[in-house]
Structure 1
Amino acid sequence: MSRRAAWILSPIALVLVAAGIALAVLQPWQSAAEAADKGDDGPVTALAELTTLTSDLRLNGSLSYGASIPLPGRGGTITRLPKAGDVIGVGQAVYEVDGRPVIAVRGERPFWRDLGADMEDGPDVRQLEQALADLGFGTDLTVDDEFTKVTTASIKAWQKSLGLPQTGVVALGDIVAITAASVRVEAVKAKLGDPASSSPLTYTSTGLRVIAKLTDAQAREILPGTPVTVILPDGTEVPSTITAVDVGGQPTEKEGETTPPTATVDFTDPAAGQGIGLRAVKVVFATSEVKDALVVPVTALVATTDGGYAVDVLRKKGKVERVAVEVGLIADSRVQIVGGDLAEGDAVVVAQ
């Protein structure tokens, strides 16, 4: 078993063993035969079977649209706002200031100056030119740090498509950089008539994902790319993948507190989870697997006086025989039998 499996399985095994044995050993030294002698209807049994036994790690998670990002403010007065939940794509107006739309373009850095002819070269020019190209206004445009006549012509063509004055200049505040091709308005913090200097809203990604809580040890062991299964509140199982692990430890707004370790889980089907709200879910890792394992219910285990375990086997003519066994992997309320006089198809007595 790998080191990763070891730290995951140990607490699970202990819990399952405790749960099972607590039922099986309420009267550990009384055999099923003795119970039958007292006039019981007879023992309840289950068949020992060969199967694939898988041990899972289950984590608590919640549906999320990801990190909340504030939209930068600008000068002027807010004259139109979107609603929470609206999806806004690049090339569309996010909100309106002084009667003019503030257009979303894709980029990682905020714009900090007017963009027009004779300006100094810079990465903001490259970001603008890439945005123009993405919107279909990049004919003959070379995406670089230099503002050229072709850049001016591309801006005018873009302004014409929006019904704006064709100045060839993008003034500070006319556009705002967002981090994806489209974003979802999370919360609107401003109201009509407010100064636009403060952030008017926060946004997130448009795709649902799961944020799962981790321990410090799990954050060190779990790797991006690990396949998992997300169990939705209605029991639907959705194939998913760990896409990022955050070890936490970053300061929060509360003094002395830090962010917890978490894993980000993306659905294989982006539509999974839509329409059910930001609900709690389970994230399941298959951590260990044994093929052709001889298994019985964990409630069939009986503690013995020497500190080991046994099972009561119903033999021919109703005779019950206590058989000492060695146990292996424990998962899903079942236990692997790795030693002892027990075979597939044997009927073992289970605690009632």
Structure 2
Amino acid sequence: MNDPSGGESPLSRRRTALLWIACGTAVLSLAGLVLSTMIKSPAQLAAETSAPERTDLTATVEERVLRETVVLRGTVVQAQALESTPTSVFEADKLVVTGARAKPGDWVKEGQVVGEVSGRPVILLRGAFPAYRDIRPGSTGKDVTQLQKALRSLGYTVDDESTMGGSTKAALRKLYNSLGYPVPDTGAADNEAVAQARARVKDAKRILAQARGATPPAPAAITAAAEGVDQAEDALEELVAKTGTMLPLGEVIFVASFPARVSQINRTVGREVQAPYLRLAVGKVIVSGEVTGADPRGIEAGQPAELTIGTESFPSKVTAVAEKAPAQATEEGTSGDLGTPGFTVTVTPDKALQTELIGEDARMTVVVRNSQDPVLVVPVAAVSAGADSATHVTVVGADGQQRIVAVTVDDSGDGYVAVSSDELHAGDAVLVGVP
């Protein structure tokens, strides 16, 4: 009931006071509860800050093939490097770069023109050994056979001729015409000689025709004219066999396998050709890495290996281990740093790698030794030696009891050691340390 004067009645004031007292009591109770969780006795503090109880560190005895591996970093590359520089060019007095058709990093194929030197093409053809001479009409030899195989590989028809003969020359003419370059030949003098020989054949045939058409016929004249035709044709055939289309030394580079990748090429138009004009990476896709030091750490050709490229693994084999050539001292005689000794290790995967991986980093894990058959192995840290040099391990039972077991130690690898004992079995727990 309100006071008629407008103020609170005595009853309302008492209720308000009681409400405030209840709130204060609740706040104090809550504060007490929070403080009780924060305040700890000395015994509690000692228990919580004391060191944990010591526990044994154990490892399980395993039965498996023991391997020792060497891990090194490698790069995906192609197996071979080929360098070539034109030494002569058809009808050119000076070797000058006049055009470029490829650049470093390009993949190139057989039959492709990679550049121009003194206006003439530099053509890639398939072949196992480099060109060493101009291949002229009538030439014989393994370079001629290689050229014929290369032309057949491009789809041209070449007869089984033992020399640089008519079908080989015809195929070469088609190749040059397809590339848009004039066909190289043995020269103007030879061309003129062939033209004259053809004219003599024509004249001889005309004389023969006149002799046969004479009235009355003169057998002796006909025979002489026929012999003249045979002689003229034989001379022409012999001349044609030694002249005409040829393959200049400086216009072809034989490459053992394709595709090939350009590592370096002289592309500066107007500059004289300097060695090397062209450098190609060819052959299988492999991984090459290096081991530093005076020995290859047990790595040998034929050992199994594993390549890891990105997230993929590839079973592989070591195919070559070669000592790095030491750096040479300068001409001034300063000793300097002649380079760090080491070995180049080549690993080839069991299945061919894709060329898209070239240039990628790879992890090379080489197995330099293994036990062949499964053996008992424990971590190296589990083996101890006493004052008498006898070796042992400490076996920890399921109940935590420990017992010393004498063991014979054999090979080690990758942090493990092979052990043998009649009292040790696969699955046992052995002590490796106490924290």
Normalising by the residue count of structure 1, what TM-score does the alignment of the two structures yield? 0.73
Q: Which SS does the other structure have where 1:232 is aligned?
A: strand
Counterparts of 1:153 and 1:219 in 2: how far apart (Å)? 57
Q: 2:60 aligns with which of 47, 50, 54?
A: 47
Aligned to 2:173: 156
- Aligned residue type for 2:281: T
Aligned to 2:147: 128
Aligned to 1:62: 74
Q: Which SS does the other structure have where 1:317 is aligned?
A: coil
Q: Which SS does the other structure have where 2:181 is aligned?
A: coil
Q: 1:208 aligns with which of 266, 271, 285?
A: 285
Aligned to 1:176: 253
Give the 3 Å change call, closer, same or farther, for CA 280–126 of structure 1 in structure 2. same
Normalising by the residue count of structure 2, what TM-score does the alignment of the two structures yield? 0.60
How big is the shift at 1:91?
0.6
Aligned to 2:391: 309
How big is the shift at 1:61?
5.2
Q: Which SS does the other structure have where 1:291 is aligned?
A: coil
Q: Find out whether 1:86 has 2:106 as its counterpart.
A: yes
Q: Which SS does the other structure have where 1:285 is aligned?
A: strand
Q: Find out whether 1:185 has 2:262 as its counterpart.
A: yes
- Aligned residue type for 1:171: P
Gaps of 5+ in 2: 1-50, 88-94, 185-244
Give the 3 Å change call, closer, same or farther, for CA 297–245 of structure 1 in structure 2. closer
Counterparts of 1:113 and 1:316 in 2: how far apart (Å)? 82
What are the equivalent positions in structure 2 for 1:1-352 lying under 5 Å apart?
Answer: 40-49=53-62, 51-58=63-70, 60=72, 62-63=74-75, 64-74=77-87, 75-117=95-137, 119-142=138-161, 144=162, 146-166=163-183, 168-196=245-273, 198-205=275-282, 207-213=284-290, 222-223=300-301, 226-232=302-308, 234=310, 236-246=312-322, 248=323, 261-271=343-353, 274-275=356-357, 277=359, 279=361, 281-285=363-367, 287-315=369-397, 317-339=399-421, 341-351=423-433, 352=435
Give the 3 Å change call, closer, same or farther, for CA 85–296 of structure 1 in structure 2. same
Counterparts of 1:69 and 1:166 in 2: how far apart (Å)? 27
Give the 3 Å change call, closer, same or farther, for CA 330–305 of structure 1 in structure 2. same
The number of aligned residues is 308
Give the 3 Å change call, closer, same or farther, for CA 161–229 of structure 1 in structure 2. same
Q: Decide whether the 8 Å contact of 2:100 with 2:114 is kept in 1.
A: no
251-260 vs 333-342, which moves further: 251-260
How big is the shift at 1:261?
4.7
Counterparts of 2:396 and 2:355 in 1: how far apart (Å)? 47
- Aligned residue type for 2:428: D
Q: Radius of gyration: which is bigger?
A: 2
How big is the shift at 1:220?
10
Q: Decide whether the 8 Å contact of 2:96 with 2:269 is kept in 1.
A: no
How big is the shift at 1:175?
1.9
Counterparts of 1:245 and 1:116 in 2: how far apart (Å)? 42
RMSD of the alignment, in Å? 3.5
Give the 3 Å change call, closer, same or farther, for CA 158–253 of structure 1 in structure 2. farther
How big is the shift at 1:149?
1.8
Counterparts of 1:47 and 1:230 in 2: how far apart (Å)? 26
Greater strand fraction, Structure 1 or Structure 2: 1
Q: Decide whether the 8 Å contact of 1:48 with 1:294 is kept in 2.
A: yes
Give the 3 Å change call, closer, same or farther, for CA 90–128 of structure 1 in structure 2. same
Give the 3 Å change call, closer, same or farther, for CA 160–42 of structure 1 in structure 2. same
Give the 3 Å change call, closer, same or farther, for CA 84–315 of structure 1 in structure 2. same
Give the 3 Å change call, closer, same or farther, for CA 272–305 of structure 1 in structure 2. farther
Counterparts of 1:276 and 1:299 in 2: how far apart (Å)? 41
Q: Decide whether the 8 Å contact of 1:61 with 1:213 is kept in 2.
A: yes
Give the 3 Å change call, closer, same or farther, for CA 273–40 of structure 1 in structure 2. farther
How big is the shift at 1:280?
5.6
- Aligned residue type for 1:41: R
Give the 3 Å change call, closer, same or farther, for CA 186–161 of structure 1 in structure 2. same
Q: Which SS does the other structure have where 2:399 is aligned?
A: helix
Q: Decide whether the 8 Å contact of 2:285 with 2:358 is kept in 1.
A: no
Counterparts of 1:127 and 1:220 in 2: how far apart (Å)? 41
Greater helix fraction, Structure 1 or Structure 2: 2
How big is the shift at 1:86?
0.9
Give the 3 Å change call, closer, same or farther, for CA 172–348 of structure 1 in structure 2. closer
How big is the shift at 1:124?
3.3
